Structures are given as C-alpha cells and as structure tokens.
Amino acid sequence: MSHAETGHLLKVEGLTKRYGARIGCADVSFDLWPGEVMGIVGESGSGKSTLLNCLAGHLVPDAGRVMFDTRAEGMKDTITMSEPERRMLGRTDWAFVHQHARDGLRMNVSAGGNVGERLMAVGARHYGEIRDSAEDWLGRVEIDSGRIDDRPTAFSGGMQQRLQIARNLVTGPRLVFMDEPTGGLDVSVQARLLDLLRGLVREMGLSAIIVTHDLAVVRLLADRLMVMKDGHVVEAGLTDQVLDDPQHAYTQLLVSSVLQV
C-alpha cells in the first residue's frame, strides 16, 4: 500500500488522551481510505468513545496527529487547525451521529428545521430549496414527508435516530463518526437502521468510523476492525478476519461472548 500515501482520507498517528493519571486511549494509529468503513469495538470503558471524540475534535488529545484530507489544502492536522476551520469541517465534510438522538437533534425544532440546520449553517438562504432537500432526505431515511413539521419529541426512538442521520448527511459529508448508532433500539428497528446505513454508505461512497460494542453491527457495516481494551488497540484487521480468526485473547473472549440464538 505504498502508493496510498496521498490517497488517505484520514491518517491518525500516536493519538493519546489521558484523564489525569488514567488513560483514555493510548498511542492509537490507523489509516482510513475514502469509501472505507472502520469499526471500533471493545467493552465499556475501553476508550472507544474517547478515541472517537478526539478524532471528531470534541476532545483535545494530549499527543498525536489526526490528518484529514481537506478539500482546500489537502492533508491537514485537525488538532492544530483553528477552531473556525474545525467547526467548518464539522458542518460540511464531517458528520457525527450520537448514540442518543437527543444529543444530536434539536428537540424543540421541527424535523425539517433539524435537517435544514446544516444547510443554513453553510449559507443556504432559500426557504423553498431548504425545504425540498429536507423532504428529500426524510424520504431517504424512510420518514413520511408529512411529518416534516413535527418535532422530534413526537417521533419514536428509531425515527429520531434516522432523523439524526438525515440531518448529518444532508450536506454530503465525506466522513461520518458514529457512536453506537444502534444502541438503545430494539432489534427489528436496529436491523432496519443497519440496512439503511449500509445502503447510504455504499450509495454515497461515505467513509465512516463506527464505535460500537455490538459485533453484529461491525460485521454488517465495517470493512476493517479495531479492537480496543484499556485504551489500547489490541488487534486490528479486516472485519471478517478478526471476527472469524481472533488472535488476541481479549478478542477471542469478545467473540465467544456473543449470545447465539
């Protein structure tokens, strides 16, 4: 993969975050190519969310670099870039899907307003056009366009999560961070959501980093997998390879702990 030096979408080097003496995540390095989906699994407290938040610019890591292929200037360290630049990325090329839809939605703003917010943040000033793309996106995430003026409080958990995804993808981001996107949903809703996500990821050629403790989610969505324990990456590789032939003791435990129905 020597040719890929210029083709990276994201290049993470030695990322470390400490909470005082405790380790959040330590010395994490990986590469992400355009169109690739990376899964991060591990038990609670293993540093998955810390890592994701560092990558997405919500937390400032203590060491390391997060190089992102910006449209204007090519590879650029998102940790040292200025806050306005990072925020601009956050509403154009990046998207962040929270585990709890309430954290990612404005609950007192209608569904249409939620989807339109990112468009307006990047300068859309035509009500009709904003509404059209909101309607289009509600359709894509299988929300009836008749609900466009309803507030998310009137939506079910699964709908809220799909609305959050629509709201994030409306500006055509290139990299999506997802923190347990299916957590807290019942299994049939999960399955539909995964189906939807898989379709969108393939159709839009999205790259994504998905943090989850649910191995079924990464099996379905992720091309590659990183397994974390106590803040360290203990194993990484192609998803099927890691899940079918786990090498590290912890990964073996993780894989064998999945309940079989």
Partner 1 sequence: MSDYNFAYLDEQTKRMIRRAILKGLAIPGYQVPFASREMPMPYGWGTGGVQVSAATLTPEDRLKVIDQGADDTTNAVSIRKFFERTAGVATTEETANASVIQTRHRIPEEPLTEDQILVYQVPIPEPLRFLEPSEIETRKMHALEDYGLMHVKLYEDIARHGQIATAYAYPVKVEGRYVMDPSPIPKFDNPKMSDMAAIQLFGAGREQRIYALPPYTQVVSLDFRDFPFEASKADAPCDLCGAEDSYLDEVIVDDEGGRMFICSDTDYCRSRQTKTTGVGRVRSREEA
Q: Which residues of the shown chain bind partner 1 in the complex (CB under 8 A)?
A: 83-84, 87, 91, 106, 109-110, 112-113, 116-118, 120-122, 125-128, 130-131, 148-149
Q: Which of 173, 26, 206 is nearest to 91 (CA)?
A: 173
For residue 100, the minimal CB distance to partner 1 (Å) is 18
Least distance from C-beta 95 to partner 1, angstroms? 15
Phi, psi (deg, nearest 5) at residue 155: -100, 155
Cβ distance to partner 1 smaller for residue 24 or 113:
113
119 touches 171 (CB < 8 A): yes
Distance CA 28, CA 220 (A): 24
Nearer to partner 1, 117 or 214 (CB): 117
Tell me how long the chain is. 261
Q: Residue 130 or residue 208: which is nearer to partner 1 going by CB?
A: 130
Q: Which is nearer to partner 1, 149 or 195 (CB)?
A: 149
Q: Quote the least distance from Cβ 127 to partner 1, whole Å.
A: 4
* Cβ neighbour number for residue 102 with a 10 Å cutoff: 14
Q: Are 194 and 183 in contact (CB under 8 A)?
A: no
Nearest approach in angstroms of CB 129 to partner 1 is 8
Shortest distance, position 126 Cβ to partner 1, whole Å: 5
Q: Residue 220 CB, nearest distance to partner 1 (Å)?
A: 33
Closest to partner 1 by CB, 144 vs 149, is 149
For partner 1, give the closer residue by CB, 106 or 202.
106
